[in-house]
Structure 1
Amino acid sequence: MLDAAFDDFTSCSTGDRFATLNAMTEFALQHQAHLARFAQVLEHSGSILSSVAKDLQYSSTANLLQHEVGFAKGQADAYVRLGKLLEHREYPVLAEAIEAGTVSSQQAIIIVREFDRQRDRFDAEFLAMADRSAVAFAEGSDSSQPWSPEDLRDSIRGWFAQHDPEQVELRTEQQHSRRSCKAWVQEDGMVTVITLLTATDGAAVMQFLDANASPRTRLSAPDGDPEIDMRTREQKMADAFVQAFTTAAKSKHTSTQGGSAPTLLVTVPMAEIDKHANGTPALARVSRTQEFVPVAEVSRIICDDAVQAAITDDSGNVLKLGRSQRLFSPAQRKALNVAYPTCATDGCTIPSVWENG
């Protein structure tokens, strides 16, 4: 029946498409219900060895589901948990909904995961109410669509938080003590940064990164057509991350080093500058990590206040130390912005209004 419906889908009426949607949804939910029941019987049926999975030459039920059904490990573990729920009925309303095929496995997994995290802190009456409410929202009604797993997760967390605000305060204090940031240089010179932030600070950072990673055009090309930004979302977020740090380095509120704002020193031997001028590959060195980078890359970022260049002779003696602060007046900056729509430094294409002179 479904094959015929798929074949006719492009030409059928909206009513027929609703019928196909309902049939496909019912089929998918029943299939997921059978998988949960399968995990239950695998995990809890009698066996010759310590489990049915071992009778069938697998190390565990999850391992069997990975190989025979094609689940990823996390998905296999989640189905094993659903199987245990069907066996022990800790959340009876949800267990019945899974068996009836009225909630999806992903909805059920989210509900179980959130309930398991909190169940020891709440009484049976509240958990029973949450069980009924979560299933009702997951199933939907004639007047409302079924909730997505993400909506269920956020709402369940909200229920628990509102029922026990003191626990939220305690968790916030714990998060504050656990905050951390680590950074290290990889073999190829790239830098890995791993940060763990509190819920509030993390949300603020994500808001900033999201704002700078949204799909949009970047600059206007000379012919009037917008230049298409070809960066991936992850690349945009990385660029925004760097921009936030370079902006913070210029702030009067940031910590200082040697009485000055944190400034990256880039050393460029005069011989390398000559190579770059002649169009051949040339190298500079960044002070913090001692990594070599192309002089062209230095030319691109040198217009930033957070970077200072030191030109040396072949013996390493400093011949010229660039300014760590740009000295153009506001009026001069406006005039330069008119004369140079983008950065005048060779290889740098950022808008001149972003420049610091």
Structure 2
Amino acid sequence: MSPVFMESSAREVAMRGVVAARAQLDELELRLIACSADVAQTDAGRDVAAWQVAHNRRDRKAARADQRLAEALDRRYEVLRAGLADGTVHVDQAHVIARALDDLPAEVAIETRAKAETVLVGLAAQHTPSELRRLGKRILQALDLDDAEAALARRLEAEEASAFKKTSLSLRPDGDGTTRITAVLPDAVAHRLQTYLDAFTSPRRSERRGEGTYPQILGQAFCSLLERLDPAILPQHGGRATTVLVTISLESLRNDLGVGEVVGGEALSATEIRRLACTAGIAPVVLGGKGEVLDLGRERRLFSNAQNKAIAFRDKTCRAEGCDMPASMCETHHWREWSKGGRTDLNDGVSLCSHHHHRVHDPRYTADRLANGDVRFARRR
């Protein structure tokens, strides 16, 4: 019978049954993997995982993970294997439980390991793999052992040291105006980054729901986070606080459609250069008609913390007409641009949310300061 024609209660029973049946099939496959080294040797395969990749078109990473789990179930974790066999534990949970047990400190007694295995297998009936991962890290505490706290501390210290060694970050320009960032970070640092980005995105989710996916909004929040870093607190670079040097002709600096170039080769519109000058350390290298340096402009720093607080206290919200984004979540815009002699003082600062800060530098829009201090936007015709 097609599931479409089944009663809702029958479909519920069927879905539960399918999950249990899949777990039982997975257990059978893992038992086969554990005893099939000779199969891999028939065509000189490195191991069963390599044979799976070649003959069953498995993903290499997944095949190796399955082989590790198969060996763990065969040699160490009979209770966990039995949970898979009777369908009470599914394979995603089994991977997590086996990893948690393998990560227990070497000095943990065999009896304690067996008890931890039994407890985690029992918890699988109520918890997802992610939840089991967290519970597994604290299983010794859950067993109420005398040295559980010390054992957990040693384990976390080892995990943190390993995470730091694995930390990496690479930037690869895609050639279309974007750069792909790939990073591996310690969990604590990643959590801090997530918290910072949530601070940028949370108040905006409802108003920007139609403007892109959550990953897109998160990426925009990451850009805003970097742009709001105070260059004064960054490490010295070449004997001075980190500054972005931008080369631009005097004529381009004055035009809305001009183009400049970051020292290093990337092109930027004059509009973007003016916007960045509000939120980053920017020093314009102004060139004459023949490319000679007419002026190495002063670096434009962020408003000071005290100035930002004063402007936020004064403005309360984004000053774009009708926008109620809290000022604490806004950026401070230089109303009179540095290219036109603007100064970093309270009278020249105005709170704008990231969306409206981009619009104020967007040549497609006009922005007028009203008598009450609000900013009114209108699309150019």
2: distance between equivalents of 1:261 and 1:347?
31
Residue 244 of structure 2: aligned partner: 264
- Structure 1 residue 311 corresponds to structure 2 residue 286: yes
SS at match of 2:246: strand
Counterpart residue type for residue 235 of structure 1: Q
Tell whether the 8 Å contact from 1:36 to 1:79 is kept in structure 2 after alignment: no
1:44 and 2:35 are equivalent in the alignment:
yes
Pick the aligned partner of 2:61 from 68, 74, 93. 74
Name the SS of the counterpart of 1:303 in structure 2: helix
Provide the aligned C-alpha RMSD in A. Answer: 3.9
CA distance in 2, matches of 1:119, 1:159: 12
SS of aligned partner of 1:118: coil
Using a 3 Å threshold, how does the CA distance of structure 1 residues 168 and 80 change in structure 2: closer, same or farther?
Answer: closer
Mark the CA change 1:108 to 1:121 in structure 2 (over 3 Å): closer, same or farther. same
Identify which of 169, 191, 205 aligns with 2:193.
205
SS, match of residue 272 in structure 2: helix
Higher percent of residues as strand = 2
Q: Assess, with a 3 A threshold, how the Cα gap between structure 1 residues 229 and 302 changes in structure 2: closer, same or farther.
A: farther
Quick check: 1:114 aligned with 2:100? Answer: yes
SS at 1:128 equivalent: helix
Deviations 1:220-269 (A, max 9, x none): xxxxxx5555244333333333333332224x544455886433121112
Relative distance call for 1:177 and 1:230 in structure 2 (3 A) is: closer
Q: CA offset at residue 208 of structure 1?
A: 1.6
- The equivalent of 1:223 in structure 2 is none
CA contact (8 A) 1:37 1:83 kept: no
Residue 245 in 1 paired to residue 226 in 2? yes
Matched, 1:150 2:130: yes
Query: Does the CA contact (< 8 Å) of 2:248 and 2:284 recur in 1?
Result: yes
1:88-116 superposed Cα distances (whole Å, 9 cap, x missing partner): 3x112111111112211111111112222
Residue of structure 2 equivalent to 1:221: none
Q: Match of 1:284, SS?
A: strand
**Structure 1 position 333 matched with structure 2 position 349:** yes
Give 1:78 deviation, angstroms: 2.9
CA distance in 1, matches of 2:159, 2:89: 33
Q: Quick check: 2:285–2:293 contact (8 Å CA) kept in 1? A: no
One of 165, 168, 174 as aligned partner of 2:152: 165
What's the counterpart of residue 24 of structure 1? 15
Counterpart of 2:81 (choices 95, 118, 140) is 95
Aligned to 1:143: none
Shift of 1:333: 3.5
The secondary structure found in structure 2 opposite 1:101 is coil
* Gap regions ≥5 residues in structure 1: 141-145, 219-225
Q: Determine the C-alpha separation between the residues in 1 that align with 2:154 and 2:346.
A: 52
| Distance verdict in 2 for CA 1:242–1:21, change over 3 Å | same
State the distance in 1 between where 2:43 and 2:166 align.
Answer: 46
Looking at structure 2, the residues matched to 71 and 86 of structure 1 have their Cα atoms a distance apart, in angstroms, of 20
**1:170-319 matches, cutoff 5 A:** 170-171=157-158, 174=161, 178=165, 182=169, 186=173, 188=175, 197-213=185-201, 216-217=204-205, 226=207, 228=209, 230-250=211-231, 252-256=232-236, 261-270=241-250, 272-273=252-253, 277=256, 282-287=258-263, 289-313=264-288, 314-319=290-295
Query: Given the superposition, is the C-alpha separation of residues 215 and 304 from structure 1 closer, same or farther in structure 2, using an over 3 Å criterion?
Result: closer
Aligned counterparts of 2:208 and 2:188: Cα–Cα separation in 1: 35
Contact 2:164–2:185 (Cα < 8 Å) also in 1:
no
Rate the CA distance shift 1:174–1:53 in 2: closer, same or farther, 3 A: closer
Change (3 A) 1:22 1:130: farther
Match of 1:126 in 2: 112
What is the one-letter code of the residue matched to 1:317?
A: V
1:65-101 superposed Cα distances (whole Å, 9 cap, x missing partner): 446655422332233334334433x112111111112
Letter in 1 for 2:349: R
Equivalent AA in structure 1 for residue 74 of structure 2: E
After TM superposition, the score normalised by the length of structure 2 is 0.67
Contact 2:243-2:299 at 8 Å conserved across structures: no
Structure 2: segments with no counterpart, 5+ residues: 142-147, 302-333, 335-342, 376-381
1:206–1:133: structure 2 CA closer, same or farther, 3 Å change rule? same
CA contact (8 A) 1:85 1:95 kept: no
Aligned residue type for 1:8: F
Does the aligned pair in 2 maintain the 1:308–1:322 contact within 8 Å?
Answer: yes
Indicate conservation of the 8 Å contact 2:283/2:296, yes or no: no
| Aligned equivalent of 2:300, options 324, 327, 336 | 324
C-alpha displacement at 1:207, in angstroms?
Answer: 1.9
TM-score, scaled to structure 1: 0.71
